Amino acid sequence: MGFDPGSVRVVACDIFGTTVDWRTGVAEQVAEIAAGRGVELDGGAFADAWRDRYLPSMRRVNDGERDWAYLDTLHRESLDELLELHGVAGAFGEDARRRLVRSWHRLPAWDDSVDGLARLRERYVVAALSNGGFALLTNLVKEAGLPFDCILSAELARAYKPDPRAYLTAVGLLDVEPSEVLMVAAHAWDIDGAREAGLRTAFLERPLEKGPARGADRAEDTRSDLAVRGFGELADLLAAVPGTVPPE
């Protein structure tokens, strides 16, 4: 290990893909809402195409090409484009489109998330740190029963990860040093951003994040302090570290 895990006080967790299975959740809700309108849509492929627009849409905010916009707004814009591309725009009115955007607020946790987070919480302040809006995350975390100590969002910085402001605003709100925060994420771009902001990092492998047909990011795609295969393994690893700094 290249760092002393005993110096960690806060475990900050990415949400989409890392803690919850966005693809299964969105695919199911898309398919259901489409079926209710007599439209046949491949939920998985639609979810993939929607997610493909995620990073580019946030980059335009971070680069200052446009003002701050909520993730819900970005999701809505991508959705409108996609429905047009699929030639089904006419079948989805305002209400259906709102429900589709809301599908990102209600996603299933990966099997190991609830237990692993609960174990981490015994020794650390455990925070959600996501590009999702504060309300989205509050709803999602509540619905999935994820035991976080607090919710932090890129919205509080009005800049999206991997912009350093997103990480450093969270660090400042928790009144710790960047090096006392361990960022846990399943995406190389998130690990890279956190590392550049001075945080410690744990790459958490989610091989099925993008479904069975597409490859997910792997530990070797980035440089992280730790690499684990789930929150249970992370809790095991950190539990073996002596002299952890208590939260206060």
Query: C-alpha distances in angstroms, 29 versus 52, 56, 100, 108, 146?
Result: 18, 23, 7, 11, 20
Strand locations in 93-237 (E): 125-130, 150-153, 181-185, 200-204, 226-228
Q: Residue 166 interacts with a copy of itself (CB under 8 A)?
A: no
Angstrom distance (rounded) from CA 170 to CA 36? 40
Q: Residue 150 interacts with a copy of itself (CB under 8 A)?
A: yes
| Residue 124 and residue 159 in contact, taking contact as beta carbons nearer than 8 Å | no
Q: Residue 102 interacts with a copy of itself (CB under 8 A)?
A: yes
Angstrom distance (rounded) from CA 161 to CA 16? 12
Q: Which of 11, 174, 204, 235 binds a copy of itself (CB under 8 A)?
A: 174
Instruction: Kindly indicate which of the ranges 54-62, 107-115, 131-139, 203-211 contains the residues binding a copy of itself, using the contact rule CB under 8 A.
Output: 131-139
Helix (H) or strand (E) holding 12: strand 10-13
The nearer residue to a copy of itself, 16 or 124, going by C-beta atoms, is 124
Tally of CB atoms within 10 A around 116:
26
Angstrom distance (rounded) from CA 46 to CA 87? 13
Residue 9 Cβ, how far from a copy of itself at the closest point, in Å?
A: 10
Q: Which of 76, 86, 108, 134 binds a copy of itself (CB under 8 A)?
A: 134
Residue 143 Cβ, how far from a copy of itself at the closest point, in Å?
A: 7
Residue 231 Cβ, how far from a copy of itself at the closest point, in Å?
A: 18
Q: Residue 42 interacts with a copy of itself (CB under 8 A)?
A: no
Interface ranges with a copy of itself (CB under 8 A): 102, 105-106, 121, 125, 127, 133-135, 137-139, 141-143, 149-151, 155-156, 173-176, 247-248
